[in-house]
Structure 1
Amino acid sequence: MKPQWDDLPTNVRRTVEEQIGQVLKAEPVTKGLMPGLAARLHTENSGTVFLKAVSTASPAAPLYERERRAGAVLPSDLPAPRLRWSGEVDGWIVLLHEYVDGRDADLSPGSPDVPLVLDTLAVLNEALTPCPGEVPEVAVNIAGLQAKATSLLAGELPDRAMYETALGRFDLDALEGDTLLHYDLHPGNFRIDDGRTYVIDWAFAVRGAAWVDAVMLAPRLIEAGHTPEQAEVLLARVPAWRSAPADAVTGLAALWTMFRLYKARFGPLEGRDFRARAAEAGRAWVRYRSA
């Protein structure tokens, strides 16, 4: 069970209130699989603030540190919540963000959200090149995908030849670049509020080639109902996508898909169904690109 506001040590809560004023109400946010506390804080002096916190002993602590590092350097005019304060208090990493209201993006065919999301991605690419701060290289995230792919290839795997061919042509060096990437773009990490689009949850931020974020978004478009061909036509709206090396795109798509296949088989039970759906979308895209 995820911790809640009252579960935080007294000194952690006191420190938060020193930053934003007395907390009148704390509403837990239970959506998502990331360990740690997430809560919407209603305060006496600062309106509504979004709190994230995790124990420094948690395996997720490095991701909170990465989000903290990214939040500190995101340009103030970027369509993303501002990091108002962060710190480490009594063994807890604490992040206080501007609260962004709204709803998840709808990426289905014909949705007015689709062009908003694609235009927002283009804005991110431009505003975050060159990378404005120190974050890990994209290879750090890719290593996790490669490990899961290796594990799957050691056993029974449908479409094995397709994946092996895609990975055989994959060159990790092609992903290098000088753009700050979100890396985890999906409908839940876009917030649509009164015609504006915000990008939240920068825990997987890395430095790499600008087109990588478009690759991460493509299977989400397919999962929402677009064909692979339609998804690629839509992505042409993003300038960085148009310069992406074909073999690198296909290889990364294969790794993305195999990671979700692995999690659908062996990951937490509560996430297996939606990861299986994501994997099916990714498989369709890899098959289209491999034809």
Structure 2
Amino acid sequence: MPGLGTLINVAAIVAGAAIGLGLGQWLPQRTRDVVTSGLGLVTLLLAAMSAAEVLSPDLEAAVGSSAPALIVLGSLLIGGIAGSLLRLEDRLADLGGALRRGLTRAAPVRAGAAAAPAPGAAAAENTAGTGAADARTERFVEGFVTSSLVFLVGPLAVLGAISDGLGNGIDQLALKSALDGFASIAFAAAMGAGVMASAGPVLLYQGAFTVLGVVLGGYLPDAHIAALTATGGLLLAGVALRLLRIGSVPVADLLPALLVAPILTAAVAAF
């Protein structure tokens, strides 16, 4: 059933956030770092599995035995140039910052409106209460924005959802659900209930790409899907390097490669 993978993903985020809220401050920073490194290693494994599609018999039959690797290379080069010129990485960071600032500015107004001015000790109490409310709101926003960006940014959200829509199974989203579930435990323990709220954007974002996969299902041949998956595998390797704190690969700038891969495959197959 198309969409099942995204529903599992959303459930994993909610469950992980609930566990993280229960753990509270009991989860030390060292443990969070270990979990993040574990996520990076699993993502690296998933990247290798996806990149192995470059050896797909369907892709080789369509473009020849020597072209698949060149198609992936060309997709990354063309997509990377396009993404860097469009400054996708910077725009994504700007979007997250703008969302964080906008929600943070809006929330204190509501919190402040609830506290009527009062003389003496009552005024001081109201001020203290408002400050505490503002701090809780900022913590909620920080958790919501940070976790939403982590769960949505990355080829797996796109590739997994499209693969689900294409009818190729939910394996990628099942693995993403495990990654997001563990990540939400650490995030919620550190940043609170806002992490649980990030399940909403995940549902809408991945649901949209699942619908896109359903629509494309009758148009993209298996060879094109294999090229897209192999290219996405290398982008996942970039995500893994970031999680492992080995390097800061501008993965968002490379995302257009996912669009270029099927186009290059069709072009090479036509000759």
TM-score (norm 1): 0.25
RCO greater where, 1 or 2, for CA within 8 Å and sep 6 or more? 2
Larger helix percent: 2
TM-score (norm 2): 0.26
Larger strand percent: 1
* Higher radius of gyration, 1 or 2: 2
